[in-house]
Amino acid sequence: MRLSRMFMPTLREAPSDAEVVSHRLMVRAGMIRKVAAGIYNILPLGLKAHSRVENIVREEMNRACAQEVFLPMVIPSELWRESGRWDLYGKELLRVKDRHNRDFCLGPTHEEVITDLVRGEVRSYRDLPLNLYQIQTKFRDEIRPRFGLMRGREFIMKDAYSFHATEEDAESEYRGMYDTYCRIFERCGLEFRPVEAETGTIGGSFSHEFMVLADTGEDAIATCDVCGYAANVERAEAGISVPAGPALNRDKKDLEMVHTPGLKTVDEVSGHLKIFPDRLIKTLIYSTDRENVVALVRGDHELNEAKLKRMLEAEWVGLADEETVRKVTGGPSGFSGPVGLKARIVADYAVESVSNGVTGANEADMHFINVNPGRDFHVDAVGDLKMVVEGDRCARCEGTLAVARGIEVGHIFKLGTKYSEAMGATFLDERGKKQPLIMGCYGIGIGRVVAATIEQSHDERGIVWPHPLSPFHVYIVPVNVKDDRLFDVAEDIYDGLNAAGLDVLLDDREERAGVKFNDADLIGIPVRITVSNKTLDKGGVEIKKRREGEASMIGIDEVTDKVKEYIDMA
């Protein structure tokens, strides 16, 4: 490609709304332009990077005997009503009406469409297993679209769905996809980690997320260096720990009410009473799809809503509004406590170890001191409800957990029969008996992979592409395009590299060399070849590797071999 013909509007400054480096660099490198919040034009350079990821994904999915299909983006509401998600999915689902006033949605994910397709065609176990995938535009009306392509509303996803006759087969496919995902992200040149994950609105029995390690990641992951346990903190199990303060084995004192005017938070109350926060019992009132529940965690811990949801086997959980808090406790929020409550009370393991603790007294400006679980209040269920933090004991071994940030680029789920049962997708087993299809689903955010790559691989001058994802392999800079002597050499090198099957960008613009060098660094192409009279006088051209920075001289006829060798290395 000749740069004079290329639509690559580079910028010196990034727009002010670009908070993370990948967003800034993608705009500055002319890869994307915003149309509306979370909705982008993808320009040629950006699309080439997308294609690199897509090609790797296709090769690896095909290798795993998955087959590519292309499903519609506009989906009739009837299918989503059959699965029950028309009502459950919430505002992320963009609903539209056609001219006949019929309801449709823009597909945020395609379990319903694929299950409908397969239930119409698959009859017997002989038609199974089946793994179908597509690379297609999704729409999710995200509440907080941000970070460019990282969290868009319209974005490109590879989504795959598999169908099986037996649990064993579904699990073996899940393991196969796990390996396929590892190969994909390795081939992309990413530093990543698979972690155990929550299943969210997609549902299903278990799942793993593939996390690219980066400080700007929106997810937190807990890992144990000793046993290798790794999980999203939404999911991560907490080892049972000894209370931090000197709280054990105190004599149980008498319950007492104290005045705590305007003091609501753990810090305010513990500061006022001059005690460690681990002496407090934090009392949170939750509403769920079934009932209102009182959830207790120790004052120095945070409650993990995903764990609460699982413990209660609820469809959804959310903090109760002020009116509900008053209904459940009789007092205002900020002063809730479990003493004397009739509602269902669930507690984290650590709450049981609190003695002579402090809780709200369900009355404005009042707290109880010397509260003892069991004596002063009942607990209906005890379990792991706390959000793990750095330094917590690992639940699986003697190690401690470290917490790091990550970007979720892929997600695999074992769905089981959630969709096939809801939608009547069955097959006849070997004995001729009708059974629901057992399913799995597997997603990769293509644009998010591109953004995460840049997040992980850049320097102060711009992007540093891992070779497999770079939109071009080589950037040729003739320092003066009006000088035939050196421009002819640049063109010869360009032809030679193209003939060798490399993707080459020839900067044939009438610009100063400095401008060209800056653009070459900004867009991050792995190899730069500079042709000037000075290099020709020395008998060759200059080669500079983006990753290394040092330039060196090579002979003109060595260029193709040297570049090929370097590009293939990564």
Token pair, residue 110, equals 């395609």
Where in 320-450 does DSSP place strands (E)?
344-348, 357-360, 366-371, 381-383, 401-416, 426-428, 434-436, 438-445
Q: Which is nearer to ligand ATP, 52 or 448 (CB)?
A: 448
Name every residue whose Cβ is closer than 8 Å to that of residue 282 and which is 6 or more positions away in sequence.
266, 296, 297, 298, 299, 301, 303
Interface segment toward ligand ATP; rule CB under 6 A; list 303-311, 404-412, 515-523, 533-541: 404-412
Q: Is 409 a binder of ligand ATP (CB under 6 A)? A: yes
Q: Does 448 bind ligand ATP (CB under 6 A)?
A: yes
Candidates 50-58, 64-72, 152-160, 429-437; binding stretch for ligand ATP (CB under 6 A): 152-160
Near ligand ATP by CB under 6 A: residue from 23, 85, 119, 151: 151
517 is an interface residue for ligand ATP by CB under 6 A: no
Shortest spacing between CB 565 and ligand ATP, in angstroms:
33
Binding of residue 109 to ligand ATP (CB under 6 A): yes
Helices (H), 158-304: 167-187, 266-273
Q: CA-to-CA distance for 86 and 82, rounded, in angstroms?
A: 8
For residues 518, 215, 27, 513, the Cα torsion angle rounded to the nearest 10 degrees is: 0
> Between β-strands 474-478 and 504-506, what pairing exists: parallel, antiparallel or unpaired?
parallel
Of 11-19, 295-303, 330-338, 402-410: span binding ligand ATP (CB under 6 A): 402-410
**In the complex, what is the shortest distance from the CB of residue 18 to ligand ATP, in angstroms, rounded to a whole number?**
16
Q: Does 453 bind ligand ATP (CB under 6 A)?
A: no
Q: Which of residues 178-237 bind ligand ATP (CB under 6 A)?
A: 200, 202
- Residue with the CB atom nearest ligand ATP in the bound state: 445
State yes or no: residue 406 binds ligand ATP (CB under 6 A): no
Contact stretch for ligand ATP (CB under 6 A) within 308-316, 389-397, 407-415, 424-432: 407-415
Rounded CA-CA distance 30/484 in Å is 30
Q: Does 157 bind ligand ATP (CB under 6 A)?
A: yes
Residue (6 or 412) nearer to ligand ATP, CB = 412
Q: How many DSSP H helices and E strands does the chain contain?
A: 15, 31
Could you tell me which stretch among 94-102, 281-289, 341-349, 437-445 binds ligand ATP (CB under 6 A)?
437-445
Q: Is 265 left (phi over 0), alpha (psi -120 to 50) or beta?
A: beta
| Rounded Cα gap, residues 422 and 433, in angstroms | 18
Instruction: Give me the phi and psi of 62, to 5 degrees please.
Output: -65, -40
Q: Is 113 in the site for ligand ATP (CB under 6 A)?
A: no
Q: In the complex with ligand ATP, which residue's Cβ is closer, 218 or 352?
A: 218
- Shortest reach from residue 453's CB to ligand ATP, in Å: 12
The site for ligand ATP, by CB under 6 A, has a size of 18
In the bound complex, what is the minimum distance in angstroms from residue 232's beta carbon to ligand ATP?
9
**155 or 419: CB nearest ligand ATP:** 155
Percent helix, percent strand, percent coil in the chain, to nearest 5: 30, 30, 40
52 lies in the binding site for ligand ATP (CB under 6 A): no
Q: Which is nearer to ligand ATP, 408 or 521 (CB)?
A: 408
* Site for ligand ATP contains 155 (CB under 6 A): yes
Binding residue (CB under 6 A) for ligand ATP from 411, 414, 418, 473:
411
397-424 burial, b if ≥16 CB within 10 A, otherwise e? eebebebbebbbbbbbbbbbbbbbebbe
The one-letter amino acid code at 439 reads: M
Asked if residue 142 binds ligand ATP (CB under 6 A), the reply is yes
Q: Are 353 and 382 in contact (CB under 8 A)?
A: no
Taking CB under 6 A as the rule, does residue 40 contact ligand ATP?
A: no
DSSP letters along 432-469, please?
S-EEEPEEEEEEEEHHHHHHHHHHHSEETTEE---GGG
The residue from 30, 46, 129, 152 that contacts ligand ATP (CB under 6 A) is 152
Choose one: 64-72, 117-125, 408-416, 487-495; the region binding ligand ATP (CB under 6 A). 408-416
C-alpha 250/C-alpha 257 separation (Å) is 19
Task: Find, among 136, 80, 134, 83, the residue nearest to 104 by Cα.
Answer: 80
Residue of the chain from 119, 140, 235, 546 that contacts ligand ATP (CB under 6 A): 140
CB-count exposure of residue 486 (10 Å: 0-12, 13-18, 19+): buried
Q: Looking at beta carbons only, is 325 or 451 nearer to ligand ATP?
A: 451
Structure tokens at 401: 């957990």
- What is d(CA 17, CA 24) in angstroms, rounded to the nearest whole number? 9
Per-residue contact string for residues 320-339; x = within reach of ligand ATP by CB under 6 A: --------------------
Q: Is the sign of the CA dihedral 242, 247, 249, 255 positive or negative?
A: negative
Q: How far is the CB of 411 from ligand ATP (least distance, A)?
A: 3
Beta carbon of residue 310, minimum distance to ligand ATP (angstroms, whole number): 16
End-to-end Cα separation, the chain, in angstroms: 23
Q: Is residue 408 at the binding interface for ligand ATP, with CB under 6 A as the rule?
A: yes
Nearest to 177 by CA among 398, 439, 368: 439
Which residue's CB is nearer to ligand ATP, number 152 or number 540? 152
Q: Which residue has the tokens 């917590």?
A: 392
Nearer to ligand ATP, 142 or 171 (CB): 142
For the bound state, the minimum distance from the C-beta of residue 252 to ligand ATP, rounded and expressed in Å, comes to 45
| Alpha-carbon span 141 to 135, nearest angstrom | 19
Residue ranges in contact with ligand ATP by CB under 6 A: 109, 140, 142, 151-152, 155, 157, 200, 202, 408-411, 443-445, 447-448
